[in-house]
């Protein structure tokens, strides 16, 4: 089974059971963001979480095996057409250098880990229009001299 076939089976089962990502994540015992990324094929699950996911959704052992495999992360280098995803390209284009400068001024020369990392997505109600709150939290990795 490929990661794409796995994702298709998961999405169908999730829709059939009428579960949100939040509800599914609660049943599996993981964050909604991380579980969703694994279900979409960009991260992997440990055996216990994979088994639990398949139990909740009524999926085969093939799905449990495939979701435990390490993903190959390949991105298309063209600008995405989906407006939500495009905004992150826009944010990086407008604020990327600023984020780098401010971070390196506070921490020194280095980068933020995308491995030792969490991502949270919350909703903040506002009378002028609800707000999306995205928190990226990554370990700082200083560059080494040798």
Residues acting as catalytic residues: 87, 90, 113
Contact 71, 41 (CB under 8 A): yes
Contact 41, 3 (CB under 8 A): yes
* Helices and strands counted in the chain (H then E): 6, 2
């Amino acid at each position: 089974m490929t990661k794409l076939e796995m994702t298709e089976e998961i999405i169908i089962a999730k829709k059939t059971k009428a579960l949100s990502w939040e509800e599914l994540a609660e049943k599996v015992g993981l964050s909604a963001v991380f579980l969703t990324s694994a279900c979409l094929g960009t991260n992997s699950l440990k055996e216990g979480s994979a088994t639990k996911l398949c139990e909740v959704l009524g999926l085969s052992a093939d799905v449990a095996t495939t979701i435990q495999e390490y993903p190959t992360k390949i991105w298309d280098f063209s600008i995405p057409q989906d407006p939500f995803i495009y905004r992150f390209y826009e944010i990086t284009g407008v604020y990327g250098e600023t984020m780098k400068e401010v971070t390196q001024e506070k921490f020194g020369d280095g980068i933020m880990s995308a491995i030792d990392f969490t991502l949270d997505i919350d909703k903040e109600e506002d009378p002028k229009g609800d707000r999306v709150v995205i928190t990226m939290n990554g370990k700082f990795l200083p560059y080494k001299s040798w």
